[in-house]
């Protein structure tokens, strides 16, 4: 039986005076990879940030394991839920290992030294993300792909059962995009991590997700398994494209192999 880990009820979020979405409800199932797709400015990232308490909602509730998040301390939330934000920044002179150790913050009691448990988790995070090799380098010396893996490792060091990723593959080349997504997939399969992410590439979303949420103009158009969402009519409605879809004979996931922009509709 699949249970819900995050449930958003009638969320309204605003940037200054601009309402990104209002009265939005959705839920995230445990142990699955859920991907939010939609055109630029549709509110994907804002939704992700709201359910991870980075942005405060105007109204509505987010329930984490059926508990209202407003009632849980931010540190306690950080033990259950980690977020890799869209364009993370760190001082360039910081060493990789130190940055990853920042992920241990919610678990640390004293600020002085890392416990052996902390060290263990850091090693594990570096191992999974294959960043052990450059643990002693400074952030400045890393390529974009390496940096993204380091950031992922920092989120993993938080040791949470839920991982939120905001466009984890943007700015990466094809090989690194795939590498990051395969790490995510491995986390889900082997470590039973619940993953929620925002992706721009529909085919990546279809291939790696159990569940898709399609958004447009601050509303959830539809949600469901990739086979249902990657369909001509849905893509037409969400992205305003005329897509040709087939099934990848290798892994059975739907692939959109060509598309044309439809004329603007108002």
Partner 1 sequence: MHKQNRSRFFITMSALIGAILFAIYIHITNGTFDMSVKDIFTTLLRMNPTNDFDLVIFEFRLPRIVIAALVGLGLGIAGTVVQGITRNGLADPGILGINAGAGASIVIFMFFFQMELAVSGSSNWLSIIIMPIFGFLGGLIAAILIYIFSWTNGKLDTQRLILSGIAISTGFGALSLYISLKMRESDFEMATVWMSGSIYNANWIFILAMIPWLLILVPIIYRKAYLLDYFQLEESSIKSLGIQVEKEKAILLLSSIGVISACVSVSGSIGFIGLIAPHIAKQLVGIHHRYVLPASAAIGMFLVIFSDYLAKTIFAPAEIPVGIIVAILGVPYFLYLLMKTKA
Q: Under the rule (CB under 8 A), what is the footprint of partner 1?
A: 15-16, 49, 52-55, 73-79, 81-83, 85-91, 93-95, 97, 102-103, 105-106, 111, 136, 154-155, 158, 166
For residue 47, report the phi and psi dihedrals to the nearest 5 degrees. -60, -45
Whole-number Å distance between alpha carbons of 68 and 60: 10
Return all residues near 70 (Cβ < 8 A) that are at least 6 apart: 61
Least distance in Å: CB of 72 to partner 1? 10
- 3-class DSSP state of 14: strand
**Residue with smaller CB distance to partner 1, 154 or 181:** 154
Least distance in Å: CB of 262 to partner 1? 33
Least distance in Å: CB of 37 to partner 1? 20
**Residue with smaller CB distance to partner 1, 95 or 176:** 95
Instruction: Evaluate whether 181 touches 208 at the Cβ level (below 8 Å).
Output: yes
Least distance in Å: CB of 81 to partner 1? 8
**Residue with smaller CB distance to partner 1, 44 or 53:** 53
Least distance in Å: CB of 89 to partner 1? 4
Whole-number Å distance between alpha carbons of 91 and 139: 8
Own/partner contacts of 20-27, CB < 8 Å, gap of 24 or more, are 20/46, 20/218, 21/46, 21/47, 21/218, 21/219, 22/58, 22/218, 23/60, 24/60, 24/218, 24/219, 24/220, 25/60, 26/213, 26/220, 26/223
**Residue with smaller CB distance to partner 1, 89 or 260:** 89
Least distance in Å: CB of 30 to partner 1? 20
**Residue with smaller CB distance to partner 1, 166 or 201:** 166
Distances (CA, A) of 199 to 80, 164, 207: 22, 12, 12
**Residue with smaller CB distance to partner 1, 100 or 205:** 100
């Amino acid at each position: 039986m699949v249970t819900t880990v995050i449930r958003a009820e009638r969320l309204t979020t605003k940037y200054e005076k601009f309402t990104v979405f209002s009265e939005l409800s959705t839920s995230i199932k445990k142990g699955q990879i859920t991907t939010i797709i939609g055109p630029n400015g549709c509110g994907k990232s804002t939704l992700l940030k709201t359910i991870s308490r980075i942005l405060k909602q105007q109204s509505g509730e987010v329930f984490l394991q059926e508990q209202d998040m407003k009632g849980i301390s931010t540190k306690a939330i950080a033990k259950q839920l980690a977020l890799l934000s869209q364009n993370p920044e760190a001082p360039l002179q910081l060493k990789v290992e130190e940055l990853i150790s920042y992920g241990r913050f919610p678990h640390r009691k004293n600020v002085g030294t890392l416990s052996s448990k902390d060290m263990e988790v850091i090693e594990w995070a570096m191992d999974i993300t294959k960043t052990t090799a450059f643990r002693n380098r400074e952030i400045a010396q890393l390529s974009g792909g390496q940096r993204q893996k380091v950031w992922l490792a920092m989120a993993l060091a938080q040791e949470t059962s839920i991982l939120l990723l905001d466009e984890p593959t943007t700015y990466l080349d094809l090989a690194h995009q795939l590498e990051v997504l395969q790490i995510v997939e491995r986390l889900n399969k082997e470590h039973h991590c619940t993953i929620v992410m925002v992706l721009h590439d529909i085919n990546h979303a279809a291939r790696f997700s159990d569940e898709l949420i399609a958004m447009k103009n601050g509303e959830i158009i539809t949600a469901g398994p990739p086979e249902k969402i990657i369909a001509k009519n849905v893509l037409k409605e969400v992205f305003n494209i005329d897509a040709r879809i087939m099934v990848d004979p290798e892994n059975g996931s739907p692939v959109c192999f060509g598309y044309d922009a439809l004329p603007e509709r108002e």
